[in-house]
Amino acid sequence: MLSIHLDPDIELRLDRLAELTGRSKVSVVQEAIREYLQDLEDVNIADERLKNPGPTYSSEEVKRELDL
């Protein structure tokens, strides 16, 4: 269980969005956190791949490998 305190302006925006979409505030917050975490995980994966790139292949090598 997690309890957070929001700045009044953020809470007002959350209230409005929940009302506008007909969803609960909890539902909106959970989705926002889920998407934010996914974005952070994607950034971390991209950073790792930039630090440790795998092999690269020319288009000719790919065509040859795939018999295209």
DSSP 3-state of 68:
coil
Distances (CA, A) of 21 to 16, 28, 42: 9, 9, 27
CB 38 within 8 A of CB 31: no
Residue 24: the pLDDT is: 97
Q: How far lies 23's CA from each of 2, 26, 38, 48, in Å? A: 20, 8, 21, 37
Confidence (pLDDT) at 68: 92
List pLDDT tens digits, range 5-54: 999 999 999 999 999 999 999 999 999 999 999 999 999 999 999 999 99
pTM: 0.72
Distance in angstroms (rounded) separating the CA atoms of residues 40 and 16: 26
Q: Is the pLDDT of residue 1 over 90?
A: no
Domain range summary for the chain, segments of one domain joined by +: 8-65
- pLDDT score at 66: 95
